[in-house]
Structure 1
Amino acid sequence: MDTAITEVRSSTESTGDVDVSVVIPCLNEAAGIASVVAEAQAGLRAAGLDGEVIVVDNASDDDSAALAREAGATVVTEGRRGYGSAYLAGLASVRGRYIVMVDADGTYPLDRIGEFVDRLRSGADMVLGSRFKGTIEPGAMPWPNRYVGNPLLTGMLNLLFRSSVSDAHCGLRAVRREVLPELQLSATGMEFASEMVIKAGKRRMRIEEVPTGYRVRIGQSKLARFSDAWRHVRFMLVYSPAFLFVLPGGVAAGAGLVGLIVLGAMRHLSDNWTGVSVAFAMLTILGLGIIQLGLFARTYAVIYLGEHDVRLEHGWRRFRLEHGLALSCVTLLVGAAITFASFFDGIKDPRLGILGLALVAVAFQGAFASFFLSILGLSEHAILRRGRA
Structure 2
Amino acid sequence: MTESNKNVELSIVIPCLNEAETIEVCINKALNFLKENNVSGEVVIGDNGSTDGSIEIAQRNGAQVVHIDEKGYGAALMGAIKASKGEFIIMGDADDSYDFSELMPFVLKLREGNDLVMGNRFKGGIEKGAMPFLHKYLGNPVLSFIGRLFFKIKIRDFHCGLRGFRNESIQKLELRTTGMEFASEMIVKASIFKLKITEVPTILSKDGRSRPPHLRTWRDGWRHLKFLLMYSPKWLFLYPGLILLLISTLLFVMISINPIHANKLTFDLHTLTYCGAGIILSYQILSFSFLSRIYAINQGLIPVEKKFLNLFKFFNLEKGLLAGLFIFLIGFLQSLNLFMDWRQEGYGRINDLSASFRTLIPSIVMIIIGIQTIFLSFLSSIIGTIQKIKYLEEEN
TM-score by length of 2: 0.89
1:289 aligned to 2:289? no
1:71 aligned to 2:76? no
1:143 aligned to 2:133? yes
Q: Residues of 1 paired with 2:103 and 2:169: CA distance?
A: 19
Distance 1:22 1:268, change over 3 A: closer
Q: Residues of 1 paired with 2:130 and 2:292: CA distance?
A: 40
Paired position in structure 2 for 1:5: none
CA deviation digits over 1:181-207, x for unaligned, max 9?
A: 331100111100000110011111110
Instruction: Give the partner amino acid of 2:242.
Output: G
Task: Give RMSD over aligned pairs.
Answer: 2.5
Distance 1:250 1:272, change over 3 A: closer
Paired position in structure 2 for 1:201: 191
Quick check: 1:26–1:56 contact (8 Å CA) kept in 2?
yes
Paired position in structure 2 for 1:134: 124
Paired position in structure 2 for 1:312: 308
Paired position in structure 1 for 2:346: none
Distance 1:120 1:63, change over 3 A: same
Quick check: 1:303–1:383 contact (8 Å CA) kept in 2?
no
- Match of 1:76, SS state, is strand
Q: Residues of 2 paired with 1:214 and 1:309: CA distance?
A: 38
- Match of 1:362, SS state, is helix
Quick check: 2:309–2:391 contact (8 Å CA) kept in 1?
no
Paired position in structure 2 for 1:242: 234
Which deviates the most, 325-334 or 171-180?
A: 325-334
1:294 CA displacement:
2.1
CA deviation digits over 1:158-185, x for unaligned, max 9?
A: 0111111011110110111111233110
Q: What is the number of residues matched between the two proteins?
A: 378
Q: Residues of 1 paired with 2:198 and 2:76: CA distance?
A: 24
Which deviates the most, 376-385 or 40-49?
A: 376-385
1:102 aligned to 2:107? no
Paired position in structure 1 for 2:244: 252
Instruction: Give the partner amino acid of 1:280.
Output: C
1:253 CA displacement:
2.9
Paired position in structure 2 for 1:155: 145
Which deviates the most, 354-363 or 343-352?
A: 343-352
Instruction: Give the partner amino acid of 2:68.
Output: E
Which residue of the other structure, out of 330, 335, 342, is the alignment partner of 2:331?
335
Which residue of the other structure, out of 170, 177, 194, is the alignment partner of 1:187?
177
Q: Percent identity?
A: 33
CA deviation digits over 1:268-322, x for unaligned, max 9?
A: 99x9944433322222212211111122112111111341252422323443222
Paired position in structure 2 for 1:355: 362
Quick check: 1:51–1:96 contact (8 Å CA) kept in 2?
yes
TM-score by length of 1: 0.90
Distance 1:132 1:387, change over 3 A: farther
Q: Residues of 1 paired with 2:5 and 2:244: CA distance?
A: 59
Q: Residues of 2 paired with 1:342 and 1:259: CA distance?
A: 23
Paired position in structure 2 for 1:229: 221
Quick check: 1:83–1:189 contact (8 Å CA) kept in 2?
yes
Quick check: 1:78–1:89 contact (8 Å CA) kept in 2?
yes
Quick check: 1:241–1:298 contact (8 Å CA) kept in 2?
yes
1:279 aligned to 2:274? yes
Instruction: Give the partner amino acid of 1:248.
Output: P
- Match of 1:52, SS state, is strand
Paired position in structure 2 for 1:366: 373
CA deviation digits over 1:78-108, x for unaligned, max 9?
A: 1222111111111111111111111111111
Paired position in structure 2 for 1:53: 43
> What are the ranges of 5 or more consecutive residues in structure 1 without an aligned counterpart?
1-7
1:175 aligned to 2:175? no
- Match of 1:129, SS state, is strand
Distance 1:127 1:267, change over 3 A: closer
Q: Residues of 2 paired with 1:267 and 1:141: CA distance?
A: 56
